Structure 1
Amino acid sequence: MAFSLVMGVGAANAATPSTAKVPAAAGSATEQQAPPRGRTAATANPIYRTGTLPSVRCAAGQIRAGSAASYRTFMSRINRCLNLAWKTQFRKAKLSFAQPRLRFTTAKVSSPCGRWPKGAGGYYCSSNRTIYIGVFREVLKNPYAPNHAQFMAHEYAHHVQTLDGVMSYYSQSIWRARTSAKLAFSRRLELQADCLGSAFLRQIADDLPVEQEHWDAMIRWTTQNGHKTWPTNDHGKGPSQAYWLERGFNAGSPSACNTWTASPRTVA
């Protein structure tokens, strides 16, 4: 089968989280805590201790090659499934949850986070908590549903990182860092998003469906080509991307996605 991955990217700027407790929702027996701050947000986040993501029913439908309407419908449905899954996960972590905004566009628009990233099919901006999805001709050529579901789940994972405090830690860490250090932090951020995205994909695999041979093809393609889109090594080499995709998919849980304490060789 012909195969290619739609590429996404996360935004670097995020607001510093409050230290105050967030009021519990009506009828809830527990209080929601503010997300952790500093390195703890990345290395020991409560989201890692929430177990597997729920197996939500996700009848997203099919994408027809060249059909912008079917692509928008599919991606909107995947986004709704992500909202359901991550709302549950944040409740288990006792962290406040809010849905991201979703914007489809036929042009490479700018946002409060800056210009459309080079090589990206879409991106997440933490400043306005919006996922931008490009409805471009080259994207619509590939109707393979799991490919696009993983792309959406990756961008959504950047929203997760914003809500749970990881994005804030990342932003603070790269503020005065040298180029090599910035790239290293970026790789840990992006590879974690790969892992969290594939953990979600595992939980909706039966509905898409994700066949074993097609998943294996995704991993082989990523190993060989995953890094070729990016002008600098800010997303990890192909084997690193494949490694974290596999970890997330096999576990179906954020517990497998702590890139911040991982060996440097796995985030190269």
Structure 2
Amino acid sequence: MRWEDEERSENVEDRRGVPASRGFVGGGIGTIIIVLVALYFGIDPSMLLQTSQQSAPPYVTQQRQQPYGGQDRMAQFVSVVLADTEKTWHGIFRQYGKTYREPKLVLFTDAVDSACGFAQAATGPFYCPGDQKVYIDLGFFEEMKNRFQAPGDFAQAYVIAHEVGHHVQNLLGIAEKVQSTMRRASKAQANRLSVRMELQADCYAGVWGYYADRSRGLLETGDLEEALGAASAIGDDRIMRRTSGTVVPDAFTHGTSAQRVRWFRRGFETGDVKQCNTFEEKSL
């Protein structure tokens, strides 16, 4: 992916090295249990957080902005990817007479406080609609490479673009409607809605990839395969097969490997958000 000379976003908040204040004890990205990766694109982080807002002490740690050092290549990379998603979604929203509000991307180490509560790195990257921020411990990319055999910068960009896809769903009111329905549904019904939500975010990530490639020429040979490999690596069926040996479709929350690949590819090949309406599709 050609990114080194590209514009960087001003919407990156660097909290690495700033300890979270709400009961975090030990651990880190190296202690991630494989099955938790099934949740790493979650749409409701509060369900995964370990301490509620009500029981948490006041946040007293001073937040500080850390400058990107010359060697801080990964922080620079995510800033470039975020900036490019901003270009894509500003343009698309303008086409529909809407205004795109840019999300913040928070870099953290081990644990973080968000408007959705307290989260450890094992939760994986997530989007919090309460503060409209994407949260990521950059160590997660090493897990992708080493444990899930999903290396490459465009695979990493896919992760960020997927979470930004959840932000788009939030801005369009899709997330609120779906989560409202999920709260009234059975567990199996809620899981099926979650799958459609996640696959739409995959498609939105593909739409970004379409513009990054065709409008700005950022992709190189093999980049698409990296993203498709990452999408396949975190399919519910593949994770269940690796962790328990048993695949339980009613427990899917993110979609199968084939579904995730299919919806990312649909967005990437069409560049059309109208093609991402997973909620109207009879067959995913």
Instruction: Using CA pairs under 8 Å that are at least 6 residues apart, name the structure with larger relative contact order, 1 or 2.
Output: 1
TM-aligned CA deviation for residue 222 of structure 1 = 3.8
Show structure 2 runs of 5+ residues with no match: 1-36, 47-69, 146-150, 244-250
CA contact (8 A) 1:6 1:147 kept: no
Q: Which residue identity lines up with residue 41 of structure 2 in the other structure? A: V
1:246 aligns with one of 251, 265, 268:
265
Instruction: Tell me the residue number matched to 1:215.
Output: 224
| Residue of structure 2 aligned with 1:87, choices 90, 103, 112 | 90
Q: Which residue of 2 aligns with 1:145?
A: 153
Matched, 1:9 2:52: no
Quote the sequence identity (%). 25
**Which residue of the other structure, out of 96, 104, 116, is the alignment partner of 1:113?**
116
Residue 82 (structure 1) shift? 1.1
Alignment of 1:57-96 (within 5 A): 69-96=72-99
Q: Could you give the per-residue CA deviations for residues 208-253 of structure 1, whole angstroms, max 9, x where no partner exists? A: 3242x45246435644653245794110011111110111111012
In structure 1, the gaps of 5 or more residues are: 15-66
The answer to whether the 8 A contact 2:196-2:278 is kept is: yes
Per the alignment, residue 247 of structure 2 pairs with none
1:260 lines up with 2:260 in the alignment: no
CA distance in 2, matches of 1:224, 1:117: 22
Taking the aligned partners of 1:114 and 1:202, their CA distance within structure 2 comes to 34
Q: CA RMSD in A?
A: 3.1
| Structure 1 residue aligned with 2:165 | 157
The separation in 2 between residues aligned to 1:128 and 1:225, in whole angstroms, is 26
Once the two structures are TM-superposed, the CA of residue 85 in structure 1 deviates from its matched residue by 1.5
Paired residue for 1:167? Answer: 175
Q: Which residue identity is paired with 1:257?
A: C
- Alignment CA distance shift 1:112-1:242 (3 Å): same
Q: For residue 98 of structure 1, what is the aligned residue in structure 2?
A: 101
Amino acid at match of 1:90: F
**1:118-129 maps to which residues of 2 (within 5 A)?**
120-129=123-132
Relative to structure 1, the CA distance from residue 178 to residue 199 in structure 2 (aligned partners, 3 Å threshold; closer, same or farther) is: same
Distance 2:193 2:273 in 1: 19
- Aligned CA distance change for structure 1 residues 117 and 68 (closer, same or farther; 3 Å): farther
Q: Count the aligned residue pairs.
A: 208
Q: TM-score, normalised by structure 2?
A: 0.64
**1:13/1:171 contact within 8 Å kept:** no
